[in-house]
Amino acid sequence: MISNKKIYKHNFMLPNKLKSILSDINEVIKHKNIIVYLVGGCVRDLLLGLENLDLDFVTLDDGLNFAKMVHKRMGGKLTVHNNFRTGSINLGNRINIDIVTARKEYYEEPGKLPKVEFGSLLDDLIRRDFTMNTLLLDFKNLDNPIIYDYFDGVSDLYNKKIRVLHDNSFIDDPTRIYRAVRFTCRYNFEIEDNTLKLINKALKNNVLTSVSEDRLFTEIIKGIKERNSYKVLKKYDEFNLFSFISNTMFINNVIIDKFNNLEQINKIKKGYKFPQISDTEVKIMILFHNLKEKELQNLLEKLSLKKDTKKKLLELKENYGKTLNILSKPNLSSYELYKTLNKKTYEEILYYLIMNYNDNIIRSRIYQYTTNFKNKKLLIDGKDIKDLGVKEGPIYKKILDIMLKETLNNNLNTKEKQLKVLKEVIKNNERSDYND
C-alpha cells in the first residue's frame, strides 16, 4: 500500500483524563527536541469516542530514556525492555503508557516473532496490522490536536472496515486473524473484502500451525475478555480458530450459550451473593468443558498458565461428575452440601451454576450454599475441646463434625454461641462411646 499522508485537523476535544496525561508528557519534552506521537489503539478509540487509557507512544528518540523521564515525572511502575529501547509505565487506575522507539520489523519465518531494527516513523506504521491502527496523534497543542493518517485509516474507521496494509500481513503475523475477528465483534465492523480473502488464503495454507499453542491461547483469552465474548467465540469458531490449539477442542452451541448465560448471570450474581470475581477464570473453565481429562492435560502442558491454575483446572475436570451427583441427591443435608462446596472457589461454584443453570435442584442448592452457608464457619477448634477435658483422639473429628452441623443448622455465628453448644455436645455424649 502506498502511503499517502493526510493531515486531519479534527475539531475534537481531548477527553480530560487523556488531556491531563498528554499535558504531563508535553512538560517532559518541553525545551527538548523530542518528537513523540500517540499511536495505535488509543487514537483509534479516541476517534470512535471510546475511552482507552492504554497509551502507546512512538518516538524517533530513545524510547527507553524517554520512558524514564516520564516515569520520573509521573511515577507509577516502570518496566524496561533494553533490547528494543522501550519502556512501559503502569500508572494504576487502568492507565498504561508504552513508549517505543520507532522500529522496522522483519519476519524471517511466518508465525515467529519478528526481527527488530530502529527505523523511521513510516517504518513503524507500516509494520502494523490494520489501517485503523496506524493513526498518529500530534498533541503538542492540546487544544488543537492533529491526526496524521498515512494509510486512509480514518476513512476505514468511519466506514467500519478492517483492512490490512499489505498482502503478507497474516503470513507475517497469523495472530492478526484473531485480532481482526475481535475487532469486528467489538466495534461491529466488517473485514474488508481483500483482507477477508487474505485471511481465508492464510488459513487454507495452515499459517496458524507455525504459531505456538500458547500464543494462540493468548488470543483466545483476549477474545473471552471482550464484553460480548460469546460473539467473539462464535466468530472464532466460524473461522475454525480453535482447532489450531487442540484438535479435540471444539465450541458448540452449548458453550456459546453458556458464555451468553454468564453475561446475563452477572446481573443476578448479586442475588447469589457472589463477590466481585474475575469471569475470565470461569470462562476458561467453560471453554475446556468439552475436553476429556487426558485431552485437557495434553493441552495444558503446552500452555504457560500458572502451575496452580493448571492443577485447579485438572482437579475440576476430575471431580465435576462426582460433585454434580452429590448436588443432585434428593435428600442432601446441609452438612453434605457444605462439605461438597466449601473447598471450592467462587469461580468454580459459578462454573457449576452456569453449566447447570437449567437444573432447578442444583441451582437452588448453590443458592442455599452461597447465601446461607458460604460464610458460616466453625470458630472453635481442637484446643477448645481439649480445654473442656476431652482426651485427644479420633473423637475430636467426630465432635467437630457435629459442631459443624449445629453451626449450619442453627445460627451459631459467634464463638460464645458455639462454645455453649460444644459443652452440651460433650456433656450429652460423655456416657456414650465418645471416650472409648
Residue numbers 8-67 binding ligand CTP by CB under 6 A? 40-41, 54, 56
Judged by CB under 6 A, does residue 173 bind ligand CTP? Answer: yes
Report in angstroms how near the CB of residue 41 gets to ligand CTP at its nearest: 2
Cβ distance to ligand CTP smaller for residue 173 or 192: 173
| Shortest CB 221 distance to ligand CTP, Å | 12
Window contacting ligand CTP (CB under 6 A); options: 170-178, 235-243, 321-329, 400-408: 170-178
What's the min distance (Å) between Cβ of 40 and ligand CTP?
Answer: 3
How many residues sit close enough to ligand CTP to count as binding (CB under 6 A)?
A: 11
Q: DSSP states of 310-361 as a string?
A: HHHHHHHHHHHHHHHHHHT-TT--HHHHHHHHTTS-HHHHHHHHHHTTT-HH
- Are the C-beta atoms of 69 and 42 separated by less than 8 Å? no
Q: Find the shortest distance in angstroms from Cβ 348 to ligand CTP.
A: 28
Alpha carbons 282 and 407: distance in angstroms, whole number:
30
Q: Does 163 bind ligand CTP (CB under 6 A)?
A: no
Q: Which residues make Cβ contacts (< 8 Å) with residue 381, sequence separation at least 6?
A: 400
Phi, psi at 191, each rounded to 5°? -85, 125
| HEC-encoded secondary structure of 148-185 | EECCCHHHHHHCCEECECCCCHHHHCCCHHHHHHHHHH
CB of 86 or CB of 175, closer to ligand CTP: 175
β-bridge partners, 172 = none
Residues of span 88-147 touching ligand CTP by CB under 6 A: 128-129, 133
Q: Is 156 in the site for ligand CTP (CB under 6 A)?
A: no
- Rounded to a whole number of angstroms, the minimum distance from the CB of residue 169 to ligand CTP is 8
Show Cβ contacts of residue 416 under 8 Å, excluding neighbours closer than 6 positions: none
Q: How far is the CB of 160 from ligand CTP (least distance, A)?
A: 16
* Per-residue contact flags (x/-) with ligand CTP for residues 174 to 213, judged by CB under 6 A: -xx--x----------------------------------
Residues 198 and 177: their CA atoms lie apart, in Å, by: 10
Minimum distance, C-beta of residue 322 to ligand CTP, in the bound complex (Å): 39
DSSP annotation of 130: B
149 counts as binding ligand CTP under rule CB under 6 A: no
> Considering the rule CB under 6 A, would residue 172 count as an interface residue with ligand CTP?
no
| 405-428 per-residue burial string, b: 16 or more CB within 10 A, e: under 16 | ebbbeeebeeeeebbebbeebbee
Q: Which residue has the cell 459459578?
A: 350
Judged by CB under 6 A, the chain residues 330 through 359 that form the site for ligand CTP are: none
**Binding positions for ligand CTP, rule: CB under 6 A:** 40-41, 54, 56, 128-129, 133, 173, 175-176, 179
